[in-house]
Amino acid sequence: PALPAGWAADKDFKAVGKLSAATQRNLEPVGPHFLAHARRKRHHRTFSEDERI
Amino acid sequence: MSDETNGAGERFAIGISFGNSSSSIARINPEGKAEVIANEEGDRQIPSILSYIGGEQYHGTQAKAQLIRNSENTVAYFRDYLGKDFKSIDPTPCHNSAHPIQTDSTVAFSIRDTESETPNTVTVSEITTRHLLRLKQSASDYLGKEVNAAVITVPTDFNDAQREALTAAAKAAGLDVLQLIHEPVAAALAYDARPEATVTDKLTVVADLGGTRSDAAVIASRGGMYTILATAHDYELGGSSLDQIVIDHFAKEFIKKHKTDPRENARGLAKLKMEGEATRKALSLGTNATLSIESLADGIDYGSTINRTRYELLSNKVFAQFTGLIEQVIKKAELDVLDIDEVIFSGGVSHTPKIAQIARSIFPEKTQILAPSTLTSAINPSELSARGAAIQASLIQEFETEDIEQSIHPMVTATPHLNKAIGVEFTSGDAVEFLPLLNTQTALPARRVAQYNVPAEGGDVFIRVCEGSREIKVTKPEPKAKEEKPKTEDDEDDSDFDSDDEEEEIREVVWKTEQPIAELAVKGVKAKGKVELMIHINADLGLQITAREVGGQSAVRGAVESP
């Protein structure tokens, strides 16, 4: 969509809201993607840190 | 990774699906594909049955044959008794084999499993151990290597006591249980691990239609990770319900001819059960099946045929129960059939063509129905959970036990999931459209990247990231048919048909913006260019958003703090 006239923000970014609450659920500890997630979580790594290794 | 050997020596793991009616063993073959192993009798679905004659143990199909002549020393349908209190079990499936009895707090069977004439009391744990030992042996013989570990599938409603009892029974059989995984998730994994499959965000219903029970689960698959949203169970519905229809049909035919009911005689009933099941299975493959039994009752041989149409007519009610279970689990997850992206049919009864066809008519066209009769590339439904277990076994067999335990710990599995979808709002004139990028029930942290076309003329682009929710829009067509009615007779018939057709309401998914999260502007985008948007959500619900022109250098980024 085109930029509305008169819209401006610092560095072209404006936070206007926040996410609503999340639900706590249990993941199924199965599959390669979960194992990657578990590895990140246990070592407190982020996605990009994980990719570098 | 393989040089990280632990003190326990080398592990060699397989996947086991352990069912009430049958069990399967699977491994990952050298080409990297999951493969179900046949036992020495050539069976891939090995009946979970043990039988004893003169101290000798029979297993699988051989033991199943003993249900006719040696039913009191044959143990069948015992999986669900494991780790259970005697009072809480349903002994119905065991009416025609050794009956479960109470010993201390557990369930046992009184069988003559040695050469002596006095029966022994054998606990269900011990029976399970013997069964797993045979499965292990079959796998070891086939692979030429001692199998010492396994991933075993269990139903979603298996409680901790049942899990512990199964792990202990496996341990006693020399099998180290690396992990117990849920049957529906194993089925989903079996499909997603195929090389041609791509990781997408989707909602899957797994219908596991077994022999004596049926289970259904709704699984949210987001970024390749699975979350079970709802489960439903029916402990009386399964292949045996369908067998009963076939049995009754043939028994009535027999009575008409010979004036005796073969079901009143235990051996006659056992024979009918055995052959009835085979006939029912044959009807899943062919349109005609025969049944022939020697000396069914009063020494009379019996032979007859049934065609599929007839069988489907008789079984309509039971088929509706199977699909009813699927509808029930979707309702339990507070979802609509429109939300479901795929339906995986698992379990032996899923071979029945009609059940998948009924499901096809329930779901919208975009929903994939993964069953042999609706999709030629479908995986054999009987093999799904064993394959899933084998895949998981191959993933974790080189991990150290401690690593596995830590990974499946609730600290790791308990994860916040998005309650609302997050996407981008598009405004063109008065119309506002919302395109979801991260769907509800996405486990956090998560990251998604998408590319959007910019307006043809290019220029500055405005991106509004919002929370949205999906609604089911029901459009009822106006009842205009009535006005057109008084016409010639031919026309009337036509319009009647049309109005019936029109009265079916049109239901569709529409997305509604709930609240804006962030606004971004990407300036000076070339005509016909694309803008790439990346959203990263932290576990604490904070966001990082990055937008840039595809091929461009500079990016707009910003963060939204957690609430």
CATH T-level assignment (fold) for domain B421-471+507-560: Substrate Binding Domain Of DNAk; Chain A, domain 1 (2.60.34)
What are the chain A neighbours of B396 within 8 Å (beta carbons)? Answer: 35
B7-183+386-411 and B421-471+507-560: same fold? Answer: no
Query: What's the rounded Cα separation, in Å, for the pair B24 and B308?
Result: 28
The answer to whether B516 contacts A16, with C-beta atoms less than 8 Å apart, is: yes
The residues of A whose Cβ lies within 8 A of any Cβ of B are: 1-4, 7, 9, 11-35, 37-39, 41-42, 46-47
Q: Which fold has domain B197-235+318-378?
A: Nucleotidyltransferase; domain 5 (3.30.420)
- Yes or no, beta carbons of A25 and B227 under 8 Å apart: yes
* pLDDT tens digit at each of 563 positions of chain B: 444 444 456 889 999 999 999 999 999 988 888 999 999 999 999 999 999 998 899 999 999 999 999 999 999 999 999 999 898 999 998 988 999 999 888 899 999 998 888 999 999 999 999 999 999 999 999 999 999 999 999 999 999 999 999 999 999 999 999 999 999 999 999 999 988 888 889 999 999 999 999 999 999 999 889 999 999 999 999 999 999 999 999 999 999 999 899 999 889 999 999 999 999 999 999 999 999 999 998 889 999 999 999 999 999 999 999 999 999 999 999 999 999 999 999 999 999 999 999 999 999 999 999 999 998 889 999 999 999 999 999 999 888 888 888 777 776 778 889 888 888 887 766 667 788 888 888 988 888 888 887 776 667 778 888 888 888 888 776 655 444 444 444 444 444 444 444 456 788 888 888 888 888 888 777 777 788 888 888 888 888 888 887 777 777 888 887 77
Question: Which residue in A45, A5, A8, A30 sits closest to B154, CA to CA?
Answer: A30
What are the chain B neighbours of A1 within 8 Å (beta carbons)?
Answer: 426-428, 455, 461-464
Q: How far apart are CA B48 and CA B249, in angstroms?
A: 27
- Judged by CB atoms closer than 8 Å, whether chains meet at A19 and B462 is answered as no
Q: What are the sequence ranges of the domains in chain B?
A: 7-183+386-411, 197-235+318-378, 239-313, 421-471+507-560
Q: Which residue of A has its CA nearest to B200?
A: A33
A47 near A41, Cβ under 8 Å? no
Residue of A nearest to B563 (CA): A18
Give the domain B239-313 fold. Actin; Chain A, domain 4 (3.90.640)
Query: DSSP alpha helices (H): ranges in B304-450?
Result: 308-332, 353-362, 384-396, 401-407, 410-413
- Residue B521 contacts residue B462 (beta carbons within 8 Å): yes
Q: CA nearest A17 in B: which residue?
A: B517
Q: Domain B7-183+386-411 class? A: alpha beta
C-alpha distance from residue B34 to each of B125, B135, B367 (Å): 29, 17, 25
Interface test with A, best of B153, B228, B413 (most A CBs within 10 A): B413
Could you tell me how far CA B429 lies from the centroid of its own chain?
A: 45
Complex ipTM value: 0.82
